[in-house]
Amino acid sequence: MALPAPGLDPWSLLGLFLFQLLLPFPPPTTAEAGGQGPVPRVRYSAGDRRRALSLFQQKDLRDFDMLLLSDDGNTLFVGAREAILALNIQEPGVPRLHNRIPWPASDRKKNECAFKRKSNETQCFNFIRVLVSFNATHLYTCGTFAFSPVCTFIELKDSTLMPILEANVMEGKGQSPFNPVHKHTAVLVDGMLYSGTMNNFLGSEPILIRTLGHPVLKTDNFLNWLQADASFVAAIPSTQVVYFFFEETANEFDFFERLHTSRVARVCKNDVGGEKLLQKKWTTFLKAQLLCAQPGQLPFNIIRHAVLWPAGSSGVSHVYAVFTSQWQMGGTQSSAVCAFSLTDIERVFEGKFKELNKETSHWTTYMGSETSPRPGSCSVSPSSDKALTFMKDHFLMDEPVVGRPLLVKSGVEYTQLAVETAPDVEGNRHVIMYLGTTTGLLHKAVVSSNGSAYLVEEIQLYPAPEPVRNLQLAPTQGAVFAGFSGGVLRVPRANCNIYETCVDCVLARDPHCAWDPESRTCSLLPTPIPSTWKQDVERGNPGWACATGPVGRSHQPQSRPQIIKEVLAVANSILELPCPHLSALASYHWSHRAAAIPEASSTVYNGSLLLLLREGAGGLYQCWATEHGFSYPVVSYWVDSQEQPLALDPELAGIPRERMEAPLTRMAGGAALAAQRSYWPHFLTVTVLLALVLSGALIFLLASPLGALRARGKVQGCGTLPLPPGEKAPLSKEQPLKPPKEHRTSASDVDADNNHLGTEVP
Ligand SMILES: *[C@@H]1O[C@H](CO)[C@@H](O)[C@H](O)[C@H]1NC(C)=O
Ligand SMILES: *[C@@H]1O[C@H](CO)[C@@H](O)[C@H](O)[C@H]1NC(C)=O
Ligand SMILES: *[C@@H]1O[C@H](CO)[C@@H](O)[C@H](O)[C@H]1NC(C)=O
Ligand SMILES: *[C@@H]1O[C@H](CO)[C@@H](O)[C@H](O)[C@H]1NC(C)=O
C-alpha cells in the first residue's frame, strides 16, 4: 500500500530514516542462535517470573549431587557435600527440610588428602556418591571421604535420618570413586550393590564390582576387560542381568587419534565367580559398542547418562541415553538422545564375539565353535573351565547395539536425563524427556510418533552457567527436581498457564497441557481426562482443535481478534506497538487493515511496530504469528487520532475493547510526552541535530567500511532513544500483570539457627 502523496513531507521521512538508522543492532534471531536441531518453542531465562521454580538451599551446604526419592514419593533424600538431607516435598513450593545429618571426612583423612597435594578447598571433603534405599528401615550411602572412600548404612525412623556412627562406617573402595570428578554409578539389586567406578587414588583402575553380598565379584584387571579410562554413567538391572553404561577408549578400531566409544556391559545376577578359574571374578562379563549416530554423520561417541523406560519393564523397554561427541561439529559441541531397545541389546549379546589377534593386535570376528552352554550366558557353570577360559579373551561382542536418534541438537551438552510418559486427551501416551545441560539449562522434549523429538520449553535453572548434577522425577508431585552446586530446585513439569489462548495452548504441543473451554484457560490435564478439553499433541493444529461449532462450517478460529487495544495518538508522532513473541517457532508480521504496512512510514524493531503516525494512517494494526502453517493475530490495536476520530470498522463490532492509557510513543532525548501536546517541534529540533551528527558519521562510514560499525556504535551511544520510564511497553504480555510474590522468605523458611532454608524463586 503506497503512502498518500500529499502527506509525504520530507521532514517526517527524514525523521523516520534517522530513526531507523539509530535503532540499536537487532537482537539475534532464533534461527541464528539455535544451530542444528529443534528450537525450544518457549525460552525462560533464570528467575523468569513466568516460570515459577522453588529453590531449596542452605548457606553452609553445597554440591547437591545425589537425589533419591523415597518409596512413597513424599521425601527427597539428598546427598550434599559432607551432609545428607531429608526433604519433605509433599507440599508444592520450596521443599521443607525434614532433617539433616552431617557426614564430614575426618580431620585425619583431610590432612592426609592435603598432604597428597589435593586441594583442601575443593577436593578434600566427603562428596556423597552413592545413595540408595537398602530396605524399609535403612539407606546405604558412600562418599569420597577426602580421597579415601567409605560407605555406611543410615537408619530411618519415619523418614528421619539417624546420625551416622563412626563404628558403622566401612571402607568403600570400588563403590565410591576417590576423586569427586570421576564418574561412578551404582544400583542395588536383590540386596547387593552393583557399582562401577575408579578403584584407585590415581583414577587409572576402573572396576565393576558387586558388594554387600557373597561372593564379592569384580572385573579382572589383567584381562583388560575395561580400558584404563572407563567412565561409568549408569547401571540398569533387568530380569537376569545388570547392564552398565560407560565410555572408554576403543582399541578395536584403527584410528589415528584416541577414539572414544560408548559401551553397554552386562553381568548375570546369578554369577558366583569361577571355582578354579576366575575366582571372585565375573564369569559372565560381556561388553558391546553402543552406537548413536545420524546416518552418514560422525557418531555421538561419548555417553553421558542413561535411564530405562518403562522402569517396570513390561512391554518393550527402551534405554534412553544422552551422548556428546569428541568432535566439535561446526565449531560447537552438540548432543544427541538415542533410544536402544532392550531386545536389541539382548540380541547383540547373543551374537558373535570379537577376539584379539595377539600377533597383529587387530580385533577380528571370532569364527570358531562355541561350547554349550554358551560362554558368558547366565547358565554357564562356575566349574566349566573351558567356557571360563574362553571368557577371558572373548568379552567384546562383534556387533554394535544401534540406537535410534530421537534428538540431535547443536550448541548444548546434555549431561542428565529423566524420562516419563504422559497421556494426551485421546489417551495416547507420549514419551517426555527432561534434559539437563552443562550450562544449567533444562529442556523439556516430547517424542512425536515419527520418532523425532521437539522441544516444548527451555529453562535456565539458575544464573550461573554450571552443570545440572542430577535430575529426579517425582511423578506424584508433578515435578522434576534438579540438583546443582547451590541447591535443589523443584521444577513443575509443565507451565500451562503461560499459554493464554486456545491456539497457543494447542500449538505448544505439551501433552501435560490442554485447553479447558469452560474456564477458558490452558491447564494441566487432570485424570480422568475431561472429554471437552482441547489438545492436538501430534499435529498441533489449532484450526481443528480450537474450532468453535461444527468443524467445516465454523470460521477460522481466532482470525477475529479476541480483544482490541485502543490507542489514541497524536498525528505525526512515532508510535511503538509491542507484540510479545512467545513462540520461537512462529514467524511474525504486521498488517494494517488486512494489508501489509507501508515500509516508508514504519519499521519493526524487536517485534514492536514503530509507526510514524501520518494522516489517514489510523485504524486496525495487527501482529500476526504464523506457526505450523496456521496464522492468528497475537495482538490487535485500533489506532485513532485525537484530531480526527475514525469511525469503527463494522467488521470489528462486538469485539471487546481496552483503552491503552499511556500513549506508546518513542521520543528522542527521553523527554516525556504529554498526551495533549504535539511534540512535533521538539522532534524536528532533535532530528536536525541528529542529521548533523549523522552526516559526519556517514562520511566516515563511506571512507572506511570497517570504521562503519564503530561509528554507528558511537552515534548510538549518544543518541539512543530510551523509553520514558512510565511508557515501558505496557502492552507486553511479558510484563507481569499482578505484583510478583518474588523473593518471599516467610518466617517458616528460617530455622532456629536463622539458616536460610529456602527462597521462592519466581
Ligand atoms: C587449606 O590449607 C591452607 C594452608 O595449608 C590454609 O591456610 C587454609 O585455611 C586451608 N583451607 C581450608 C578450607 O581448610
Ligand atoms: C535393613 O538392613 C539393615 C542393615 O543390614 C538391618 O540392620 C535391618 O535389620 C534391616 N531392616 C529390615 C526391616 O530388614
Ligand atoms: C517428524 O515430524 C516433525 C513434525 O511434527 C518434522 O519436523 C520432522 O522432520 C519429522 N521427522 C522425521 C524423521 O520424519
Ligand atoms: C525486546 O522486547 C522485549 C519484550 O517484548 C523486551 O523484554 C526486550 O528488552 C526488548 N529488547 C530490546 C533489545 O529492546
Flag the least confident range among 376-380, 553-557, 663-667, 732-736: 732-736
> What is the position in ligand 1's atom list of the atom closest to the CA of 121?
13
> What is the position in ligand 4's atom list of the atom closest to the CA of 606?
1
Give tens-digit pLDDT for 148-168. 999 999 999 999 999 999 999
Per-residue confidence band for 717, with pLDDT thresholds at 50, 70 and 90: very low
C-alpha to C-alpha distance for 643 and 622, rounded to whole angstroms: 23
Give tens-digit pLDDT for 402-411. 999 999 999 9
Q: For residue 388, what is the enclosing H or E element? A: helix 385-393
Give tens-digit pLDDT for 177-211. 999 999 999 999 999 999 999 999 999 999 999 99
Residue of minimum CA distance from atom 4 in ligand 1 = 120
Mutate to test the pocket of ligand 4, among 606, 666, 727 (most ligand atoms within 8 A of CB): 606
Residues of the chain with CATH 3.30.1680.10: 494-555
- For residue 606 and ligand 4, the question of a CB distance below 6 A is answered with yes
C-alpha to C-alpha distance for 284 and 282, rounded to whole angstroms: 6
| pLDDT score of 698 | 55
Residue 597 has pLDDT above 90, yes or no: no
Mean pLDDT of 735-746: 37
Give domain 494-555's CATH number out of 1.10.3720.10, 3.30.930.10, 3.20.20.140, 3.30.1680.10: 3.30.1680.10
What is the SS3 assignment for 183-249?
CCEEEEECCEEEEEEECCCCCCCEEEEEECCCCCEECCCCCCCCCCCCEEEEEEECCCEEEEEEEEE
| pLDDT score of 512 | 97
Give CB contacts under 8 A, 24+ apart, made by 693-702: 693/718, 693/719, 694/18, 694/21
Q: What is the biggest distance separating any 2 CA atoms in the chain, rounded to whole angstroms?
A: 104
704's CB contacts (< 8 A; 6+ apart) are none
269's CB contacts (< 8 A; 6+ apart) are 189, 190, 237, 240, 241, 242, 378
Query: 190 alpha carbon to ligand 2 midpoint, in Å?
Result: 13
CB atoms within 10 A of CB 596: 11
Mean pLDDT of 55-78: 96
- For residue 121 and ligand 1, the question of a CB distance below 6 A is answered with yes
| pLDDT score of 603 | 84
Residue 638 has pLDDT above 80, yes or no: yes
Stated length of the chain: 762
Burial classification of residue 751, based on how many CB atoms lie within 10 Å of its CB (0-12 exposed, 13-18 middle, 19 or more buried): exposed
Query: 135 alpha carbon to ligand 2 midpoint, in Å?
Result: 6
Q: The C-alpha cell of 382 is what?
A: 562356575
Give tens-digit pLDDT for 203-227. 999 999 999 998 999 999 889 999 9
Query: 119 alpha carbon to ligand 1 midpoint, in Å?
Result: 9
Residue type, 90: Q
| pLDDT score of 381 | 84
Nearest to 761 by CA among 364, 492, 522, 579: 492
Mean pLDDT of 296-309: 94
Looking at the chain, the whole-number percentage of residues with pLDDT higher than 70 is 79
Nearest-ligand number for the alpha carbon of 407: 3
CB atoms within 10 A of CB 556: 13
C-alpha to C-alpha distance for 603 and 618, rounded to whole angstroms: 16
> What is the position in ligand 3's atom list of the atom closest to the CA of 450?
1
Query: 138 alpha carbon to ligand 2 midpoint, in Å?
Result: 6
Per-residue confidence band for 684, with pLDDT thresholds at 50, 70 and 90: very low
Per-residue confidence band for 17, with pLDDT thresholds at 50, 70 and 90: low
Any idea which architecture 561-682 has in CATH?
Sandwich (2.60)
Residue of minimum CA distance from atom 8 in ligand 4 = 606
Residue 627, beta-bridge partner list: 630
Residue of minimum CA distance from atom 5 in ligand 4 = 580
**DSSP label at 500?**
-
Each residue of 23-51: b (16+ CB within 10 Å) or e? Answer: beeeeeebeeebbebbbbbbbbebbbebb
If one looks up domain 182-411 in CATH, what number appears? Answer: 2.130.10.10
- For residue 60 and ligand 4, the question of a CB distance below 6 A is answered with no
Give tens-digit pLDDT for 571-593. 777 888 899 999 999 999 998 87
Nearest to 297 by CA among 445, 399, 451, 405: 405
Residues of the chain with CATH 2.60.40.10: 561-682
